[in-house]
Amino acid sequence: MSTPAPPSVLFVCVHNAGRSQMAAAFLTHLGGDRVEVRSAGSAPADTVNPSVVAAMSEVGIDISAETPKVLTTEAVQASDVVITMGCGDACPYFPGKRYLDWQLDDPAGQGVDAVRPIRDAIEQHVRGLLAELDARPDA
């Protein structure tokens, strides 16, 4: 009997420099090998937001080596769950995928003090998602 593949989650925001990077880092940190994690942006920035890197470092997660990635059709097709965070119509839609839209403030241009509550909200969303994924009958 083969082991089922872990569920795959794709986090998408416009610049892939803040919210989606934090969400991917939290899911990777909390989910380990129980889930496959991707993140991308419809118009990726050159670098991850330094305030986001600092805020994640405060909770023991180092994302300083991450780089924003462009959203591809292949990434969406390869994912079981696609979570959007403000990318609007730029996110491709494929039937059979589970789509969630997390309404979160954009940390772009914000200092660490403003990023912390966004980070904490993302962590709570990710913990809820992980509980759902762990409860799947085929997980």
Q: Which of 35, 82, 87, 126 is catalytic?
A: 87
Separation between Cα atoms, residue 59 and residue 12, nearest integer Å:
22
Q: Which of 22, 82, 91, 115 is catalytic?
A: 91
**Nearest 5°: phi and psi at 14?**
-65, -55
Active site residue 13: yes
Separation between Cα atoms, residue 88 and residue 42, nearest integer Å:
9
Active site residue 91: yes
Asked if residue 130 lies in contact with residue 37, where contact means CB atoms within 8 angstroms, the answer is no
Q: Which of 13, 56, 71, 133 is catalytic?
A: 13
Separation between Cα atoms, residue 111 and residue 123, nearest integer Å:
18
Q: Mind telling me the catalytic residues?
A: 13, 87, 91
